A and B are shown apart, each in its own frame.
Chain A
């Protein structure tokens, strides 16, 4: 599935594929033409992806083939023992978690699950977690503290679920409690924004010692569509809102919210999922090795300091 701004690339790719097919069966040889087109594709890709608008980045962050939590688990973890349930109400599938061996590191892994197939998407409620999901995540994080396991939290959600039941069971309270209790976790917390960082639903599992972000992920106080419909009174102004809100990895790093950007393969993680997953694994392990040397007391202080300096008033 190609995005609008990728259409020129798609045309060249198609031509290359056609020539390659002809090359295989006929006695003609198109090697020089193919090589020329491939060079052309490379330059064109560089041009397209070097100057993505924030709205185009949003499209990549939401791309249907972008790697999801299950792909990261499969690609990085030799073992994942999923743990279920919030011990209050149910087992939300918008957030999942459990013991994981990520490369050589034993961790508590949690994250939003979006689902690939339509059945999976419905089961995961498209990555929009309910209070039960946030409460399960907090239960697992407390367990991590007890077992002295570092926590790795993957963020990829359009937002917390705005539903009737979710409100009745205290969506606000569940997120608020996570924010409060995560600030006191005595173990390292590594957060990675892999796709969409949708507002309260994202920060609800996002209070980390470090917050990493993939280069085409976005993280925002409100969706560009929501912002446009409120401040522009016109949802179709979402591209404008996406620019104004400064939601790209580079802009967020400048604002001191993101500590490190994980570079995606050209064109986005969906064009080479294995490479994106691998780069993410490298970045996580590097942070875990560093953070594991730091005392519990210092980890809590450092996390407090990290968030309290955001929005610190300067005369």
Chain B
């Protein structure tokens, strides 16, 4: 209504938001189209914006080869949980409506340059990518399925950790998914873990760290405990690079840091070593 009262500056900013993406890290403006074409990576500082599971799938899987697996699994509410903001069931329903996903992880099969692979791709926009009964079940079912077919299994993590709203069931998914990975190891089926921003808590402390090869995106936050909790515990400030992909590489927990645009090619190169020769 009162558009004419807007200052020239405000109008300018609105215009900005339509055309430009401002890098949250270095604040440099990039044309929105260029940002999208660059896979949501800042051309100036290499900041990798969080992206959804569908975008990830499309970046990695040969077109026309994707088939969803265990897609019937969705959230449950074993505790009938409610917090200050209301029932968990409503929160879960809202997450489903917002994202169009049934859980925090998308599972299925597809090919990487012709090599068949099973995938579990987490999505941070679905309740912080949290590990729940449903998410653990999808990952476990897909790992078992990969094992039956002897297909390499790739998990792309993006998660704050276990989903509190499902209580102990969420915690137990750490053991459940790791047991499924252990079975793949017994079968000599390759398992590659890709850690993206963020991979923390119960997800970092289970399947995400157990890859035959652990790959991270540049500057992804990876760690067990939250930064604030650690600072409160040790009563001092942590270094800026603490819990970054680069920090983990330096400390021996990551094999490689690979930029988003190079990920598919890198996976293909690595997978070739696991194929029959």
Contacts and interface: CB of A to CB of B under 8 A. Distances in A.
Interface stretch (B24-32, B44-52, B179-187): B179-187
A182 B174 CA distance: 12
Contact of A173 (B136, B137, B242, B253): B253
Contact of B224 (A160, A220, A234, A307): A160
A166 B223 CA distance: 10
Most A CB within 10 A of own CB, among B76, B78, B171: B171
Interface string A42-69: 0000000000000000000000000000
A233 interface: yes
A204 B166 CA distance: 19
**Residue picked from A179, A241, A246, most chain B C-beta under 10 Å:** A179
B277 interface: no
Interface stretch (A31-39, A106-114, A224-232, A277-285): A224-232
Contact of B164 (A204, A245, A308, A315): A245
A161 B225 CA distance: 8
Nearest to B172: A310
A303 B175 CA distance: 10
A311 B169 contact: yes
Given A172-B204, A255-B78, A311 B176 contact: yes
Given A162-B233, A200-B174, A308 B179 contact: yes
Interface string A127-167: 00000000000000000000000000000000011111011
B172 A312 contact: no
- Band of interface residues on B: 35 or more
Question: Of B186, B206, B223, B225, which is in contact with the most chain A CB atoms at under 10 Å from its CB?
Answer: B225
B167 interface: yes
B212 to A, nearest CB: 12
Given A244-B81, A304-B179, A200 B234 contact: no
B179 A221 contact: no
Dominant secondary structure at the B interface: helix
B175 A313 contact: no
A170 interface: yes
B233 A163 contact: yes
A181 interface: yes
B185 to A, nearest CB: 8
A314 B72 CA distance: 10
B169 A179 contact: no
Contacts of A250: none
B54 interface: no
A313 B224 contact: no
Contacts of A179: 174-175, 178-179, 205-206
User: Taking each of A203, A206, A222, A241, which has the highest tally of chain B beta carbons within 10 Å of its own beta carbon?
Assistant: A203
A61 to B, nearest CB: 15
Contacts of A231: 83-85, 164-165
A93 interface: no
A177 interface: yes
Contacts of A164: 230, 234, 238, 242
Nearest to A206: B175
Contacts of A221: 162, 164, 166-168, 170-171, 202
A192 to B, nearest CB: 16
Given A166-B224, A180-B210, A204-B205, 5 more contacts: A199-B171, A200-B202, A200-B224, A230-B164, A246-B168
Interface of A: 160-164, 166-173, 175-177, 179-184, 199-200, 203-204, 206-207, 219-222, 227, 230-234, 237, 241, 244-247, 252, 255, 257, 303-304, 307-308, 310-315
